[in-house]
Amino acid sequence: MRKKIVAGNWKMNKNLEEGHQLTSEVVNMVKDEVTSAVQVVLCTPFIHLNSISKLLAGSKNVMLGAQNCSEHASGAYTGETSVSMLKSVGTQFVIIGHSERREYFGETDALFAKKVDAVLAAGMTPIYCCGEKLEVREANNHIKLVTAQVSEALFHLSAEALQKVVIAYEPVWAIGTGKTASSAQAQEMHAEIRAHLAGKYGKNVAEEITIQYGGSVKPDNAVEIFAQPDVDGGLIGGASLKSRDFVDIVKAMK
Ligand code: PGA
């Protein structure tokens, strides 16, 4: 049985006090209300990781994630954060390949392959994001593009390493736009990604990989999207900034 994981991506939001408050609310609501085995991850800004880690210490199923990392181990890379730094403050997950890193910071699949290696070598879990822009979908090239993003960043891994990766399918046209993919569109792409993994690693390995959906997931659309057989959780942006909405989304993952 593959793991169900709902992760909040706070992006560049919340000062420290606001971040602490949001974390405490989420931890308490999850403790009181979530009965399923779903794992919850809070991907906070780097600067909050150390102190939020302490707030999560007593919580079994709320874990800590970062939104990016350097591909380098250490050295003269001003402004960068290494995987060993992240690990040393209790980080367990790292988002790699988010469309905003691709779009605004020029990051590429070749770079993501190195970052995925760094995260795995540090014993953390990469959440590797893939997804097409609207014009790619309109030209009917979305499956080709997304499966290529998956092969370029992940197919150098051994089967054993791949099984430690979480994939997040996030159609770029659905991120922060209020337009979500239909549950059928999400299921179609998730099944294509899984088939692509099976083609390289075999069906048994592909069946073990958690594939999250991301892009304008809200409490009122989460139930239908999460009910799809190949959707194993969500990567939640805007709605993760409100504890009530986020925990309602977590509860939609059965
Ligand atoms: P959104 O963001 O939920 O605000 O659309 C999702 C993401 O970028 O991970």
Cβ of 236 closer than 6 Å to ligand 1, yes or no, is yes
Residue 126 to residue 159: CA distance in whole angstroms: 15
CA distance 91 to 66: 7
Kindly report the protein residue whose alpha carbon is nearest to atom 9 of ligand 1: 237
For ligand 1, the distance from its centroid to the CA atom of residue 123, given in whole angstroms, is: 26
For 190-220, how does the pLDDT look when each residue is reduced to its tens digit (9 = 90+)? 999 999 999 999 999 999 999 999 999 999 9
Q: What is the mean pLDDT of the chain?
A: 97
Asked if residue 211 lies in contact with residue 169, where contact means CB atoms within 8 angstroms, the answer is: yes
> 169 Cβ partners below 8 Å, 6+ apart?
129, 130, 131, 146, 186, 189, 190, 193, 211, 212, 213, 214
Span 36-47, pLDDT tens digits: 999 999 999 999
Say how far apart CA 91 and CA 47 lie, in whole Å.
12
pLDDT (0 to 100) of residue 163 = 97
- Rounded CA-CA distance 198/106 in Å is 30
Indicate which residues carry an active-site annotation: 98, 170
Decide if pLDDT at 1 tops 90. no
The tens digit of pLDDT for each residue in 47-86 reads 999 999 999 998 989 999 999 999 999 999 999 999 999 9
Q: List, for residues 108-165, the tens digit of each pLDDT value.
A: 999 999 999 999 999 999 999 999 999 999 999 999 999 999 999 999 999 999 999 9
Closest CA to 6 of 197, 249, 192: 249
Is-above-0.95 flag for pTM?
Answer: yes
Q: Taking the alpha carbons of 48, 62, 162, 141 in that order, is the dihedral positive or negative? A: negative
- Burial class (CB within 10 angstroms; exposed 0-12, middle 13-18, buried 19+) of 131: buried
Q: What is the pLDDT of residue 58?
A: 87
Rounded CA gap, 130 and 214, in Å?
Answer: 10
Of 63, 38, 29, nearest to 245 by C-alpha is 29
Confidence label for 166 from pLDDT (cuts 50, 70 and 90)? very high
Decide whether any atom of ligand 1 lies within 6 Å of the 235 Cβ: yes
